[in-house]
Every structure is written in C-alpha cells, then in structure tokens.
Structure 1
C-alpha cells in the first residue's frame, strides 16, 4: 500500500511541478516564484470571498434590525 501511494505521489510531483516550471521558463522567472504566486493568489481569493460573505451577512442583519415587521399598531 505504501509503495502504491509513493508511486502516485511521485507521478504528481513529476508532472505537476513541471507545469509551473514551463510557465516560469516562458516568463523568464524562477519556478519557486511562480509557485509562491499561485499559493498567495489562492489565499487572497479565499480571503476576498470570505470578506464579501461577512459583509453581506452584516448587511442582512442590519436590514432586519431597521425594517422589522410589526404585527399590530401597538408594537411601536
């Protein structure tokens, strides 16, 4: 089982890292910098999505506080 897992890992390391290496060669950069860029970009996009989610949740809560539905005239 361990041998099979190592073979799969080696396959993805050989072929997966080659993509960033070719991209770095095309741009004239180091492969390490390309990998770091994609890592930082993935964290930034997750952070932006989370911030939008929290903002929308706050706005919905704020809207519910202002426009509460009153059941009768005596709820004022």
Structure 2
C-alpha cells in the first residue's frame, strides 16, 4: 500500500509534472487544483487528467526512435 501511495504522489503518469514544466508552475499546486476541481465539479477533471495521461503516453511511444527499412 505504501508503494502505491508513493507512486501516485510522486509520478502518477507525469501529467502534473509536464503541465508544471510547460506553464512554469509548481507541480504540487497543479495537483491541488486538480483535487479541488474534482471535488467542486464531481470528478470531471479526472477525465481530463486521464485523457492527458493517455496522450502523453501515446506521444512517448511515437517519439521513440524508429528503425527504417534500411536498418537491419
């Protein structure tokens, strides 16, 4: 249980970290905004968070170095 809590607090798909880097804000404040908005809007920011996590994962896989036809 401790490992799951540590993972969710530190990484959790890296969405808040990536947003913090792009916007120049602290990651902890972005996490708090997601939590507060989730309570106020009954969880709709959670859907946005999951879509962003999916998009970041897709981008990570697309940016991997691809081998070409000529590489053997």
Q: Which bin holds the TM-score, normalised by the shorter protein?
A: 0.3 to 0.5
Tell me the TM-score normalised to structure 2 length: 0.43
**Which has the larger helix fraction?**
1
Relative to the length of structure 1, the TM-score reads 0.41
